Amino acid sequence: MRGAAGAITDVPGIEVGHFTDTRRPTGCSVVIAREGAVAGVDVRGAAPGTRETDLLSPTNLVERVHGILLSGGSAWGLAAADGVVRWLEEQKVGMPVGPALLPIVPGAVLFDLMVGDSSIRPDAQAGYAACASASSRAPAEGNVGAGAGAAVGKIFGIGRAMKGGIGTASVTVDGVTVGALIACNALGDVIDPDTARPIAGARTADGSALADTRRALLRGEAPKPLLKGTNTTIGVIATDAVLTKVQASRLATVGHDGLARSINPVHTMSDGDALFALATGRSGRNPGMMLLGTMAAEVVAMAVVRAVRAAQGITAGNLHLPGARDLDRG
């Protein structure tokens, strides 16, 4: 589904593909920039699972990347990046290194192993399949790709959580576009940034309504003990503005403001929140970091909200995770 909020593929030069393994469910998503894109990253969560993020430091050599992997499966899911690299190499996309073209594909994973059979997780073939499905059309949202096994609101236990997902959004100002693709598997609640009211997250003990995690914690309700890294929101911000590597890194940093507006609590010790930023430069313009940062935070928050609003409830074994639409109907 896709509404008036737009999609990351509204940015010229960006393609998105999903692979969804319905056996568990789990999956992975890939953002492709065939011509290469200047890239940056900002990892805020305390329990990240990432690949090749060090090379995106403004002080390091590599300037452009060719794809970003977002995957379920925790650290095992990083294997899906091998399939992305293989597919891009077959398409003759990559950085020249002597006689070969080397695709540069950073990535990040989220923990979805509590949903279904944890032995099923994305691998290299899953990453390859995600690339094979990629296009510049608006990508599907909700229970697909890296959002297939995502859940939100686990602070009082997975049994009181709700279904997370993947969402996308874009905004265009004066001929420059910024878009985001976000896989939301947050420990905290997802909040409507316009009303500050929870949309999805931890439910009350009887499961019929939202508990409102922030207020529940402040009232003294104790969170359940948590395994570190069992959550995480990951995503990609893309723009057709012309950016330096330093500016791309800053765009990723400011994008986290969008997570702070739409998730509470966020950046916890049990989350590995990470955002990448890509700049294709197709517009030939840079309207300034003040505007671009404002646009980035906005589309990140919009994409988080769309991720849970598009998500459908699932049952995996004895675990039932309702979607936001299920509680709305209730």
Instruction: For residue 264, give the CATH number of its domain.
Output: 3.60.70.12
pLDDT in tens, the chain (330 residues): 333 589 999 999 999 999 999 999 999 999 999 999 999 999 998 889 999 999 999 999 898 999 999 999 999 999 999 999 999 999 999 999 989 999 999 999 999 999 999 999 999 999 999 999 999 999 999 999 999 999 999 999 999 999 999 999 999 999 999 999 999 999 999 999 999 999 999 999 999 999 999 999 999 988 887 766 688 999 999 999 999 999 999 999 999 999 999 999 999 888 889 999 999 999 999 999 999 999 999 999 999 999 999 999 999 988 999 999 998 654
Range of the domain at 258: 8-329
Does residue 1 fall inside a structural domain?
Answer: no
Overall domain count for the chain = 1
Q: What distance separates the 2 farthest-apart alpha carbons in the chain?
A: 63
pLDDT of amino acid 96: 92
Does residue 3 fall inside a structural domain?
Answer: no
Which residues have CB under 8 Å from 186's CB, separation 6+?
152, 153, 164, 201, 231, 232, 233, 263, 266, 271
131, 30 Cβ separation under 8 angstroms: yes
Does residue 68 fall inside a structural domain?
Answer: yes
293, 251 Cβ separation under 8 angstroms: yes
What torsion, rounded to 10 degrees, do the Cα atoms 14, 281, 244, 35 define?
50
pLDDT of amino acid 16: 98
pLDDT of amino acid 330: 46
Does residue 2 fall inside a structural domain?
Answer: no
Does residue 243 fall inside a structural domain?
Answer: yes
